[in-house]
Amino acid sequence: MKKDFVLEVHSENGFSVLNRMINIFNRRRVRIKRLLATEMPGDYKNGMASFIVHATEENMERVRLQLEKLIEVERTDVREMNLNHQA
């Protein structure tokens, strides 16, 4: 069953990093419902992208592992979307 997940990806902030992340969702046909990407305050070399995606739990885990493989990605945090608390 598909659910909404909040996925936060902490990474270096290079020109193609966000594209690499989005490619991983596209390739697995995982729908991005919302995306917020930001530089870390006072640190333009690092950034964080927060996705809300619609996927099965299994697909979410495969995507997370693929994201963690990216050279620039430091870590990922995933949690199921809590309808009472919008991320």
Partner 1 sequence: MKTEAIATQKDSSGINQQITGSEILLRSLIAEEVQTLFGYPGGAIMPVYDSLYSFSDQLKHILVRHEQGAIHAAQGFARVSGKTGVVLATSGPGATNLITGLADAMIDSTPLVCITGQVASHLLGTDAFQETDIINISLPVTKWNIQVTRAADVASAVARAFFIAKSGRPGPVLIDITKDAQFEMADFHYEICHQLKTYKPIPNPDQRSIAEAAKLINEASRPYILSGQGIILSGAQTELIDCAEKAGIPVASTLLGLSGFPASHPLYVGYLGMHGNYSPNVNTNECDVLIAIGMRFDDRVTGNVAKYAPNAKVIHIDIDESEIGKIIKTEVGIHADAKHALTLLLPHLKKTEHPEWLASFKKLDELEKAIIQQDCHPECEGLKMGEVVRRLNQITQGNSVVCTDVGQHQMVTSRYYSFNDLRSCISSGGLGTMGFCLPAAMGAKCGAPEKDVIAIIGDGGFQMTIQELGTIMQYQIPVKIIILNNNFLGMVRQWQQLFFDKRYSFTEMDNPDFVAIAKAYRIESQKVESRDYLDQALMDMMNHKGPYLLEVVVEKEENVFPMVPTGAGVAEMRLT
Taking CB under 8 A as the rule, does residue 40 contact partner 1? Answer: no
Q: Determine the residue type at 23.
A: N
> Residue 46 contacts by C-beta under 8 Å, 6 or more apart in sequence?
10, 11, 12, 13, 39, 40, 74
Q: Which of 20, 32, 37, 48 binds partner 1 (CB under 8 A)?
A: 20
Smallest gap from Cβ 16 to partner 1, in A, equals: 6
Count of Cβ atoms closer than 10 Å to residue 75 Cβ: 10
Q: Which of 2, 3, 31, 69 binds partner 1 (CB under 8 A)?
A: 69
Binding residues vs partner 1 (CB under 8 A)? 11-12, 14-16, 19-20, 23, 27, 62, 65-66, 68-69, 71-74
